[in-house]
Structure 1
């Protein structure tokens, strides 16, 4: 089971002059996408007992995602107010004292033996106590489980950049796979060419760094020649959930190829990486073709 640990929230998405509440969050979106793609998936994050918690639970159930590790709480659900500019999503967060933000290591039950890989990232890595809890989870298990991290950096959410950089300096070397967008790389290494920045991250310890750039497609920086896959052309409704779905496609592909293991990622080939990037790009293209974070189901991928 691929366990996704990180934020879920409610995206308040513009619609006909008002806002429509939709379940979202970077790590949550990846869990939903993995479940819809047919992978054995689990989710770890506190879920509120408020009405928005029910909105979050429904897609998890529909996608067959295991929520046994999700503590329930009376704290409120995080809200993200979304504004769209030329299809690009910008966010304002209402998160103080929320269900997820107050996650501590004590809230995380021992992982069952069925957990075979970990995915983490998003804004759940930024504030404490939840950031420390997710960091602790990765630190405890990265020696035996393959780990993928996508920081999905939101500069406006980061109140203490030095502290957050220090956390990433600790966490990214513990990952086997790191995904970073061009914007992420620019924040980490201002003024540096994105591929050079990705190689700096690679040098800290991950087996591969996936660099994404929207219409520019995706690249894998690893110990072999750079592997590239083009973006799939489509009519873009918005970009909400695109990178999250890409992450799911990559992990699903590695899982189906039987290499989503420590040894498998350590001995991965260029062809295996290309297949993963291609599946990720195809899944992301379906997501951006329709409003909101609405990842594809397995049946749509074969259409």
Structure 2
């Protein structure tokens, strides 16, 4: 029998974004943080499979068509929701978004990493909202035997309760992940007053405290790479070899919807390109050097810059990124 094609399994919400802009205009289009990551991977030429929870309604059909156009495959059972979820994004004058939601989340039985799964990515609502969140956690723990695990907390305070409640879900996933990407805004909400890079060091086991600052963290535990994004100011990554900082390209920002997800998808793609995905490459990933990590991050900020330069979560295709 032929070997299954190498792929990334993305686990999490796909929904419809209703976007209200500061000038009074509005529109509706497919989105969702994990779905945007899968979309980015598909546009960059990678095989991406999305385990999600949409309905067999008109909005669900729009989501499926949007994903299919970028070669993203839905896993079996992903259309089992009663109705497709909706997120309402309100943009301020700078293009930054705040959200409220009408959402349900669950994971179809039997969803798991399989032969050919190089990485499993999850994040945002899928990792905290029941009944699906506990199933996602179980899937991630099982997936580590065969795949790299990547995670983006992508906090949604209106859905996640208090920071303390969110951290009870987020910190175990950070500890189980090989690669974590987090925004400075998320760190500020989760750990008010703490330096985001210091939190990254703790998560990566590069300081004397564990994720909550309560006790030692071992260097052989936790993620190999933790990246903090700072919007237009670029990103900082922490790994065993040290730390790197990259600047973001200067572009005219239309809105920031999907920028972090584009960065995350490009990060997974960059590690794939350098043969650093898969459980058998875990030690190689942990040993990533700073020039390699810098090159990966420079491509991530370039990809995110394309997304913020146009409306909505509209990440670049590989040929667009190659031309920059």
Q: What's the counterpart of residue 147 of structure 1?
A: 149
Number of matched pairs = 297
Report whether the alignment pairs 1:230 with 2:247: yes
Partners of 1:160 and 1:266 in 2: CA distance: 32
Residue of structure 2 aligned with 1:9, choices 3, 11, 15: 15
SS class of match (1:48): coil
User: How far apart are residue 18 of structure 1 and its match?
Assistant: 4.9
Q: Please list, as runs of the form range in 1=range in 2, the aligned pairs for 1:139-288 lying within 5 A after superposition.
A: 139-159=141-161, 161-203=163-205, 204=210, 205-261=222-278, 262-288=282-308
Q: TM-score, normalised by structure 1?
A: 0.93
Q: Is the 8 A contact 1:32 1:60 kept in 2?
A: yes
Partners of 1:68 and 1:163 in 2: CA distance: 30
Partners of 1:154 and 1:5 in 2: CA distance: 17
Q: What's the counterpart of residue 44 of structure 1?
A: 51
Partners of 2:170 and 2:14 in 1: CA distance: 20
SS class of match (2:74): coil
Q: Is the 8 A contact 1:251 1:276 kept in 2?
A: no
Q: Is the 8 A contact 1:5 1:134 kept in 2?
A: yes
Partners of 1:143 and 1:165 in 2: CA distance: 25
SS class of match (2:87): strand
1:37-71, CA deviations, whole angstroms, 9 ceiling, x for partnerless residues? 11121111122101100110012111111223453
User: How far apart are residue 143 of structure 1 and its match?
Assistant: 3.5
Q: Is the 8 A contact 1:11 1:81 kept in 2?
A: yes
SS class of match (1:73): coil
Q: What's the counterpart of residue 91 of structure 1?
A: 99
Q: TM-score, normalised by structure 2?
A: 0.87
Q: What's the counterpart of residue 107 of structure 1?
A: 109
Residue of structure 1 aligned with 2:28, choices 21, 30, 36: 21
The CA RMSD over aligned residues, in Å, is 1.6
Q: Is the 8 A contact 2:262 2:303 kept in 1?
A: yes
Q: Is the 8 A contact 1:43 1:70 kept in 2?
A: no
Partners of 1:74 and 1:282 in 2: CA distance: 35
Partners of 1:110 and 1:27 in 2: CA distance: 16
SS class of match (1:147): strand
